[in-house]
Amino acid sequence: MEVKLHDIGEGMTEAEINCFLVKPGDIVQADDPLLEVQTDKMTAEIPSPRAGIIREFKVEPGQTVPVGTTLLLMNDIDGEVNKDNQKKPSQSTLEEKVPFAFTGKKVSSKRILASPYTRKIARENGINIEKVEGSGPSGRITDEDIYHFITALQETAIAPEINPTVAPTKTSYEKNTIPFRGRRKQIAKNMVQSMYTIPHCTHFEEVDVTSLLQFCSELKKSSQNISITAFFLKALSICLKEYPIFNAVLDEENEVIQLLHEHHIGVAVDMEEGLMVPVIQNVEKKSIRAIQLEMKQLKEKALENKLAIKDISGGTFTISNVGPLGGSFGATPIIQHPEVALVSFHKTKKMPVVTDEDQIVIRSIMNLSMSFDHRVADGATAVRFTNRFAALIQEPKMLLLEMV
């Protein structure tokens, strides 16, 4: 029986083989994970279609294969196989059914947590990744771990003697390459499509977040740890209800703008392999506490490469919070096609501000940039949208008046 790579969501065409989770001769049940693959958007496990014995691998770790490729061969087992009891085939049965013929590289039964790019760095430098100690969550191996391992090997190597009578040769500069495929390639493809299709226009605004920061601090003292981003999401949902043109899809073929009632807001997460955008569904129906909990869970899944297709699909609006990384002035974010707008939050600074009473006070001011599709909306509407958002954030208690 052949186990093939199938489309696991959103029209994927290929995947990279991360690692095997079984070895030839292993007895598996239906739905047991067989191997791990990396698509352009997520890491996924390929399950066994039925109970059987692993016979032969047809692919190797690090190999990129198209949908429909045979990944491995299995032998059926007579009768139900149950690992919890003694009903297993005898050794003679195994030898008869499984003429082990592994055509790929030797596979370790140890599961290594590392991204495809990290594995690629190890392979290109001749490093056995199993010998590298991971410093990431759950022992995950990072790019830095590989580089530190390489440095340690180089330091222990003996430098060759230099013969002064030999004329120096022309300097050869070492070149490093980064694979342009998988998630990074898909990000590039999406960005080019967005920039080619959408006439971007970006509006910049300053938002006073002093009161909101103070409110979050008060909540934390009462054991309610709510991030400022959760308030941003709820405020944006209120603004999208009042200005639905930014929660829409342009259908050029039918010459209509579809105004969407549900607010499925994507939150960009910075990862080694590139940005992932898990989506919080129906923000308009959720409390700030519920938004915070879901946002935390999705971020943890993203960092562990455990996001499912449903976690990254169906977004209608996107935010990017780069404030913690710094950057005093707003960037011009690229919209996620076919969405029509994206808001990016930037660094917050304490600044002197003149009040209506001509008093100078110190306030926490955050820069905001909003890119929008100029075919769908105008600059004046974007200004009204960000003004409404700024008003809600400046007086966070006003959010209570807008709760469903």
Residue 103 has pLDDT above 50, yes or no: no
Q: What is the pLDDT of residues 238-281, one digit of tens each?
A: 999 999 999 999 998 889 999 999 999 999 988 777 778 999 99
Tens of pLDDT along 92-101? 444 444 444 4
Q: What pLDDT was estimated at residue 126?
A: 78
CA distance 29 to 22: 12
Domains 2-97 and 116-156 share a fold: no
Residue pair 114/134 in contact (Cβ under 8 Å)? The answer is yes
264 part of the active site: no
Q: Which residue has the higher pLDDT, 104 or 266?
A: 266
Residue 155: per-residue pLDDT: 63
Distances (CA, A) of 80 to 42, 99, 122, 239: 33, 21, 41, 57
Q: Which string of b and e fits 251-273 if b means at least 16 CB within 10 Å?
A: eeeeeebeebeebbbbbbbeebb
> According to the model, what pLDDT value does residue 16 have?
84
Of 90-99, 114-123, 144-153, 258-267, the least confident: 90-99
The 10s digit of each residue's pLDDT in 66-94 is 888 999 999 987 544 444 444 444 444 44
CATH superfamily of 116-156: E3-binding domain (4.10.320.10)
pLDDT at 11: 63
**Tokens standing for 146?**
């590989």
Report the Cα 287 to chain-centroid distance in Å: 25
pLDDT of residue 355: 87
pLDDT of 34 higher than 80? yes
Q: Kindly state the tokens that stand for 364.
A: 């926490």
Residue 303, pLDDT above cutoff 50: yes
pLDDT at 157 over 60: no
Per-residue HEC secondary structure of the chain comes to CEEECCCCCCCCCEEEEEEECCCCCCEECCCCEEEEEECCCCEEEEECCCCEEEEEECCCCCCEEECCCEEEEEECCCCCCCCCCCCCCCHHHHHHHCCCCCCCCCCCCCCCCECHHHHHHHHHCCCCHHHCCCCCHHHCECHHHHHHHHHHHHHHCCCCCCCCCCCCCCCCCCCCCCCCCHHHHHHHHHHHHHHHHCCEEEEEEEEECHHHHHHHHHHHHCCCCCCHHHHHHHHHHHHHHHCHHHCEEEECCCCEEEECCCCCEEECECCCCCCECCEECCHHHCCHHHHHHHHHHHHHHHHCCCCCHHHCCCCCEEEEECHHHCCCCCCCCCCCCCCCEEEEEEEEEEEEEECCCCCEEEEEEEEEEEEEECCCCCHHHHHHHHHHHHHHHHCHHHHHHHCC
Q: Residue written as tokens 């590289």?
A: 105
Name the band, by pLDDT with cuts 50, 70 and 90, for residue 119: confident
Domain 184-402 has CATH 3.30.559.10: yes
Q: Report pLDDT digits (tens) over 204-226.
A: 999 999 999 999 999 998 888 99
How many Cα atoms sit within 13 Å of 3 on the Cβ side? 28
Q: Where are the domains of the chain?
A: 2-97, 116-156, 184-402
Return the pLDDT at 146: 82
Q: Could you check whether the bond before residue 352 is cis, i.e. omega within 30 degrees of 0?
A: no
What average pLDDT does the chain have? Answer: 81
State which of 42-56, 146-160, 243-257 shows the largest mean pLDDT.
Answer: 243-257
Q: What is the CATH number of domain 2-97?
A: 2.40.50.100
- HSE-up (13 A, CA, CB side) for residue 361: 10
d(Cα 203, Cα 276) in Å, to the nearest integer? 24
At residue 283, the pLDDT reads 96
Residue 333 clears pLDDT 80, i.e. is over it: yes
Each residue's pLDDT tens digit, 343-368: 999 989 999 999 888 999 999 999 99
Question: Which is catalytic among the residues 6, 148, 200, 374?
Answer: 374
Q: Which of 19-28, 132-141, 237-246, 299-308 has the lowest mean pLDDT?
A: 132-141
Percentage of the chain exceeding pLDDT 90 = 39
Residue 10 has pLDDT above 70, yes or no: no
Average pLDDT over residues 325-354: 86
**Is the pLDDT score of 374 beyond 90?**
yes
Mean pLDDT over 169-177 rounds to 60
Give the percent of the chain with pLDDT over 70.
80
Q: Look at residue 109 and tell me whether its pLDDT is greater than 80.
A: no
Q: Please give the pLDDT value at position 280.
A: 96
